Chain A
Amino acid sequence: MGMTIAEKIIARAAGVDSVRAGDIHTVNLDRMMSNDGTTHLTVDMYYNKLKNPQIADVKKMVFIVDHNVPSDSAKTAGSQKKMRDFAREHGIDFWEGKGVCHQIMMEHYVCPGELIFGADSHTCTYGALGAFGTGVGCTDLLYGMVTGTSWVLVPETVRFHLAGRLPEGVYPRDLMLTIIGEIGANGVNYQVMEFDGEGAKTLSVNDRMVLCNLAVEAGAKTAIFEADEIALEYLRARGRKPKAVFHSDPDAIYAREYTFDLSKIVPVAAKPDFVDAVVPASEVCGVHIDEAFLGSCNNGRIDELRVGAAILKGRKVAEHVRFLVVPASREVYLQAMEEGLIQIFMESGAIVMNPNCSVCWGSCQGVIGENEVLISTGTRNFKGRAGHPSSKVYLGSAATVAASAVKGEICTADML
């Protein structure tokens, strides 16, 4: 019986020849990532709940402070200190202020064929490099840290065949929001989204990250692309080698199959308060905005900053709008400086901030107030996600966000 890429990764991690959807296996984890959203609780449990506190393999662990950076309060600082002290004491790789966790992981750690747990729902991003990354809570993370293992219920795989090429002015984010709008917020609950087809070959690793990152918004356990030459080139450029390069077998079993023609995708927006409330962006044009956000683990890389800067060049941010630009990592930030993008953003009146999760998670920078409206390249638009429970978040591409920041109301780039 053939297997999908995801099944092959689980089989390798479980040390068995084959697995089937629905099986439960004990797996060896290749890596575990934890950020400041929950690590203070993990550390408390480590010291207070474990009979025999120990770390199976410290080299598998990565701690990243990225959610509230720099710290917004004394209590946050205390929680982050707990995490920082623990990492130093145990020799765990520790990153702080250098970028959003998934961007750091992709730049420095993730390899094809790996099984990675991250204490963050968007860990599914790592499928862009042919790895199986999935989000877990802090108890799972702790168990993995102590034992080096975990249990996995093998998920079914759903195949998304991508045909054609995205038109100019339409971005991978429009494509993924369109897919989520079509299949719904639990359209692939506990399943793997596997992307393939000729359309997949037109997408860079950056583009693939945009797709995989949002898979959890359709309920997926993870999303994955085959590690092809595009992925391997990304790895080579960073001096890394694959753990294993897997291909789905021709007779692998898929729970369902979808085809999306990339050439038919148009700019879209997700309306408040659900990521699957997706409409053509033209339907929400004219909505007054108070804030715009270009950043996040979904859409804060150099590609998106280039798109935003091209729109902002020679233009000004509308007077009543706060436009937050937040590069996803220090590497991205430095590249943007080198290319003159930061200069363009600053001259336009944008607020350029340090790499972090920022208003995408609504607890630190740029939180919005009562009845305010944000248009965002962030991951979610849940009720109150960006601040006050009565505030509203629209999701759109970097182009739509940048154009809206200029106009002061939602608009697409071609309307400027």
Chain B
Amino acid sequence: MGKIFKFHNDLDTDQIIASQYLLLPTIDEMKVHTFESLDPEFPARVKPGDYVVGGENFGCGSSREQAPAVLKALGVQAVVAKSFARIFYRNAINIGLPVIVCKELPEAVQDGEEMELSLTEGIAKSGGREFPCTKLPEYMQQILNQGGLIASLNRRSDF
């Protein structure tokens, strides 16, 4: 079980990590500024295993990979949203952060509630209810299973 941190529709990557922190040397230096414009306490309150829940078009805007990277570095277990913007979605898979499309859960849960997620079953549970999630295409699931795109590359014998 993990706690839900819920955000609005069209949540853009500038809100996840603002531009002025992107050129800091490391993700660890950036992560203390995660969601600073919306919830400055987020980095202190989020615990490993917690979830970020969004609405439609989560992660729109800039291609900054720092956005999924700071969430992963803070221990966010997965991002669950009604839909994702394509670059954030692809970046998250590439770094091994599960991004799950679930049409019903975001409306049904409140910020601060508990939830759990079974990636293999494609089911999210919260408040005694079950919510079906859209399974990732097999190609992307494989990248995720191997720990991300670079981990999968390192397994190849030709590179």
Contact = CB atoms under 8 A, between A and B. Distances in A.
A383 B10 CA distance: 11
Contact of A136 (B87, B139, B153): B87
A384 B66 contact: no
Contacts of B25: 40, 75, 78-79
A190 B66 CA distance: 21
Contacts of B1: none
Interface string A374-413: 0000001011110001000000000000000000000000
A219 B95 CA distance: 21
A348 interface: no
Contact of B63 (A41, A45, A121, A151): A121
Contacts of A123: 63
List the 3 closest pairs (A to B, CB-CB), nearest first: A137-B65, A137-B91, A389-B37
B14 A143 contact: no
A363 B23 contact: yes
Contacts of B66: 38, 41
B126 interface: no
B22 A140 contact: no
Contacts of B12: 380, 382-383
Interface stretch (A48-56, A235-243, A307-315): A48-56
Given A147-B153, A382-B14, A382-B15, A68 B23 contact: yes
B65 A189 contact: no
A135 B10 contact: no
Nearest to A83: B23
Contact of A139 (B22, B65, B137): B65
Contacts of B14: 362, 380, 382-385
B149 A50 contact: no
B47 to A, nearest CB: 25
Interface in B25-64: 25-27, 36-38, 56-57, 60-64
B24 A75 contact: yes
Interface string B69-98: 100000000000001011100110011000
Interface of A: 24, 36-38, 40-41, 44-45, 49-52, 54, 67-68, 75-76, 78-80, 119-121, 123, 135-140, 142-143, 146-147, 151, 153, 185-186, 189-190, 216-217, 219, 221, 274, 361-363, 367, 380, 382-385, 389
Q: Do most interface residues of chain A lie in helix, strand or loop, or is the interface mixed?
A: loop
A151 B139 contact: yes
B91 A140 contact: yes
Nearest to A219: B85
Nearest to B89: A190
Given A136-B87, A362-B20, A24 B139 contact: yes
B149 A190 contact: no
B149 A186 contact: no
A212 B69 CA distance: 28
A51 B22 contact: no
Contacts of B86: 189-190, 219, 221
23 contacts: A36-B23, A37-B62, A38-B66, A41-B65, A41-B69, A49-B154, A51-B154, A120-B63, A121-B87, A123-B63, A135-B87, A136-B63, A136-B87, A137-B87, A186-B57, A186-B60, A189-B83, A361-B19, A362-B20, A363-B20, A383-B14, A384-B37, A385-B14
Contacts of A45: 150
Contacts of A120: 63
A186 B10 contact: yes
Contacts of B83: 186, 189
B115 to A, nearest CB: 24
A185 B139 contact: no
Contact of B150 (A139, A151, A153, A383): A139
A367 B18 CA distance: 12
Contact of B23 (A49, A76, A138, A217): A76
A380 B139 contact: no
B61 A380 contact: yes
Contacts of B20: 362-363, 367
A146 B37 contact: no
Contacts of A384: 14-15, 18, 37
With a 10 A CB-CB cut-off, give which of B19, B22, B27, B153 has the most chain A CB atoms.
B19
Given A75-B23, A79-B25, A383-B37, A140 B149 contact: yes
Given A146-B153, A221-B86, A380-B61, A185 B10 contact: yes
Nearest to A153: B137
B45 to A, nearest CB: 18
Contact of B61 (A40, A76, A139, A382): A382
